[in-house]
Structure 1
């Protein structure tokens, strides 16, 4: 995927394209890191790059469950594991988390391809305190826009954390991931530089 989303033939392709781009930004932030580095918490926050990838993967999966009207866990039950969702555990690897994220992405693409109308309603759970009490449903379109926003927010967090770890920044990392040629103004990231 290039640094920008290609022109898209329709709204659905555009939404999925921008979501894929933000996923790629998340994945670029962990490029070249060891599992230990992906667990590191080098800034004032308690966030790690690996934990953020794990979180956006889980969040996307939960939203697609909502689209499919899979009964969500009660809010209190889902909050019990919330903080762990932001941590790359000692027995987890970045490779396994990234493979899981790829499976979530493929599922999202498949589910959205099978939905005839992006205006299809997605019920708003009533036990989540930050969801509006006066809204009964969002649309699938709204869910996709929210996933883009959520992933982009956390991709920005991941960029800052990665830069705190080893000085690597988003565009050189993306250039390394995608094999862009070096130019006078952009050199692909390389370990140890």
Structure 2
């Protein structure tokens, strides 16, 4: 499995390599899509939910931390520095910037990958509502979630860029 021109080349490799390749690709895509904006633009709310481009990046930090550092790694959310609820993970603080969140995202990915590297695909964690879940299931879930959020980010960024070009003309 390799990246060709920034895109994931899938076709050979074991199950673990394929899952980790897609997880890595969607993490990168979400970060890169959002980083194409200014901080002010990335804070813009275009939908009635808490979803903003910058909020999606902050939520991606929450996803990797909650699943891998906390559920599989044993840290509490408080110890890991993430909020208790999913909704709170989209909430932006005054000090949040694209630069700080991108750096935090990269550090979070590295910490999550350290946990993942120690586990087999059949390793399990316990989720309070869903029960026992395998690493294989959680990786697949995170791939789906990050792909979905990268799509959300892409649409929001496209709208923001369109509005930017209208104000320039």
If the TM-score is normalised by the length of the shorter chain, which range does it land in?
A: 0.7 to 0.9
1:39 touches 1:87 (CA, 8 Å); kept in 2?
Answer: no
1:117-149 Cα distance to aligned partner (Å, 9 max, x none): 210121122xxxxx33xxx31101111111111
Paired residue for 1:36? 40
Q: Deviations over 1:31-73 (max 9, x none)?
A: 3311111101134544110001000111211101101233457
TM-score, normalized by length of structure 2?
0.81
Q: SS of 2:41's equivalent?
A: helix
Correspondent of 1:138 among 133, 136, 139: 133
Query: Which of 100, 105, 110 is residue 106 of structure 1 equivalent to?
Result: 110
Distance in 1 (alpha carbons) for counterparts of 2:77 and 2:49: 29
How far apart in 2 are the matches of 1:139 and 1:83? 25
CA RMSD, 1 decimal: 2.4
Q: Which consecutive residues of structure 2, in runs of 5 or more, have no partner in the other structure?
A: none
Equivalences for residues 69-88 of structure 1 within 5 A: 69-71=74-76, 78-79=84-85, 82-88=86-92
Matches within 5 A, 1:150-189: 150-167=145-162
Decide whether aligned partners of structure 1 residues 27 and 71 sit closer, same or farther in structure 2, where only a CA change above 3 A counts.
closer
1:67 aligns with 2:62: no
Contact 1:51–1:85, Cα closer than 8 Å, also in 2 = yes
If each structure's strand is expressed as a fraction of its own residues, which one has the higher value?
2
The residue that corresponds to 1:184 in the other structure is: none
Contact 2:35 2:98 in 1 (8 A): no
User: In structure 2, what is the Cα distance between the partners aligned to 1:54 and 1:23?
Assistant: 12
TM-score (norm 1): 0.71
Does 1:149 find its partner at 2:144? yes
Cα distance between partner residues in 2 of 1:3 and 1:45:
31
Q: Which has the higher helix share?
A: 2
Match of residue 122, structure 2, among 106, 114, 119? 119
The structure-2 alpha-carbon separation of the partners of 1:123 and 1:148, relative to structure 1 and needing over 3 Å to count, comes to same
Distance 1:95 1:72 in 2: 23
Q: Give the count of matched residue pairs.
A: 156
Structure 1: give runs of 5+ residues left out of the alignment.
Answer: 126-130, 169-191
